């Protein structure tokens, strides 16, 4: 078999995946066992290159499962040989089961990634098109891994830290493994403290009320406004359409000081009413922008037929436009709810009374030397999980609503 530029590109791709898999396995091993795992980078590079070399030794149509298995073991052997049987700079006798799993993860990740990227790449001459396809696959895979890690890793650290006690965190901050033998009461002690000592049940209720009220107020203003921009003709319509999102050109920090002064004079500071004035003011523009695009995508003939049947304009909106706009309304409601739920700056500046703290403001109140770190992490989990569940549950409405107005007819 002829080896050329395709073989070289395959080796470089495998080396890159070997480096990434080795580093990720080392991080995971440290978090799960508390071992100071520092993987030697050369071992990961050579293990990935060896696995790719085995795959590239055959033409694409001859890369059978047995060859993939050979590439897997080649990665394991090279990783152990180059690292002198210490692939994570710690003896194999230390946490041998976890180290074996980490080694298998490296070999499996390298072999799987190389097989996916090099599926139809020959070892000989490589056309420009094939080279570009390979580069796109590699960069796409690296991007997917990178963004997955920066999302999952902080969340994992947050959850695991919340399940620790103060003694365990001081003894070994890197050890984020969980000892289930201590019992559920001890494991979830920080969450019990949140709702018994720090009144997080009240914060959850207040955030829920504020977020729902923000959604209702936003929709009450944005639905008729978006419909007017999309369907009616009036002076200044084009300017209004172009300037809807101009409010987002002004940083929120610039608005805080004058709003703080005005709300203090009007008696609205340190009240939930103040938040219910500010939050819709920041969410109505984006709701208008999203809804007017969707309303323009609805066939106007349906509304004209309703007008001819004797309906008033409000009747057309209520009986025809809104039922057809449920995906867009659901996506806007979800988006506004997430904004209100996660908003921190205005709540931090306006609220001083713990009795009316929102969840974000309550989490910040835990950030002090007097509150254990596991309680702070537990508060962050309580603030994150509900909105994450809601987003995953209604994700289909969000995607459908955001794309529905992109085409007409």
Residues 343 and 242 in one domain: yes
* Residue whose structure tokens are 């003894």: 171
Non-local CB neighbours of 275 within 8 Å, separated by 6+ positions: 210, 346, 347, 350, 351, 358
pLDDT at 55: 92
Residues 132 and 279 in one domain: no
Residues 378 and 310 in one domain: yes
Domain residues for 132? 5-171
Q: Is residue 177 part of a domain?
A: no
Q: Is residue 179 part of a domain?
A: no
Residues 241 and 163 in one domain: no
pLDDT at 398: 62
Q: What are phi and psi of 95, to 5 degrees?
A: 50, 60
Q: In the chain, how many domains are there?
A: 2
pLDDT at 17: 95
Q: Is residue 357 part of a domain?
A: yes
Read off the pTM: 0.78
Q: Is residue 305 part of a domain?
A: yes
Non-local CB neighbours of 40 within 8 Å, separated by 6+ positions: 82, 83, 87, 89
Check which CATH number belongs to the domain holding 382 and give it: 1.10.3720.10
pLDDT at 396: 66
pLDDT at 409: 42
Residues 106 and 198 in one domain: no
Residues of the chain with confidence (pLDDT) below 50: 405-409
pLDDT at 76: 96
Residues 138 and 44 in one domain: yes
pLDDT at 408: 44
């Amino acid at each position: 078999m002829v080896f050329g530029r395709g073989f070289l590109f395959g080796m470089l791709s495998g080396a890159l995946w070997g480096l990434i898999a080795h580093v990720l396995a080392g991080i995971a091993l440290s978090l799960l066992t508390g071992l100071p795992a520092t993987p030697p980078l050369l071992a990961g590079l050579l293990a990935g290159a060896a696995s790719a070399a085995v795959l590239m030794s055959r033409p694409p149509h001859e890369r059978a499962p047995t060859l993939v298995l050979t590439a897997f073991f080649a990665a394991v052997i090279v990783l152990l040989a180059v690292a002198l049987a210490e692939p994570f700079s710690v003896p194999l006798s230390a946490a041998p089961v976890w180290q074996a799993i980490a080694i298998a993860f490296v070999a499996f990740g390298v072999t799987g990634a190389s097989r996916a990227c090099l599926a139809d790449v020959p070892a000989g001459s490589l056309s420009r098109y094939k080279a570009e396809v390979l580069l796109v696959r590699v960069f796409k895979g690296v991007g997917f891994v990178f963004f997955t890690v920066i999302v999952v890793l902080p969340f994992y650290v947050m959850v695991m830290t919340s399940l620790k006690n103060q003694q365990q965190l001081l003894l070994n901050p890197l050890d984020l493994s969980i000892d289930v033998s201590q019992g559920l009461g001890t494991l979830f002690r920080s969450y019990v403290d949140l709702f018994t000592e720090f009144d997080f049940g009240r914060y959850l209720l207040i955030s829920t009320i504020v977020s729902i009220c923000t959604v209702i107020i936003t929709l009450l203003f944005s639905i008729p406004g978006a419909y007017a921009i999309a369907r009616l003709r009036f002076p200044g319509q084009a300017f209004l359409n172009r300037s809807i999102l101009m409010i987002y050109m002004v940083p929120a920090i610039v608005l805080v000081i004058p709003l703080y002064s005005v709300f203090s004079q009007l008696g609205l500071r340190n009240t939930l009413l103040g938040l219910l004035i500010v939050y819709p003011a920041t969410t109505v523009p984006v709701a208008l922008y999203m809804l007017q695009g969707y309303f323009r995508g609805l066939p106007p003939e349906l509304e004209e037929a309703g007008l001819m049947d004797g309906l008033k304009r409000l009747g057309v909106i209520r009986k025809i436009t809104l039922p057809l706009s449920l995906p867009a309304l659901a996506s806007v409601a979800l988006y506004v709810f997430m904004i209100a739920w996660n908003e921190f700056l205005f709540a931090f500046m306006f609220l001083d009374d713990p009795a009316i703290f929102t969840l974000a403001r309550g989490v910040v109140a835990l950030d002090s030397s007097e509150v254990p770190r596991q309680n702070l992490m537990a508060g962050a989990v309580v603030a994150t999980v509900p909105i994450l569940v809601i987003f995953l549950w209604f994700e289909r409405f969000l995607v459908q609503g955001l794309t529905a107005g992109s085409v007409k007819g």
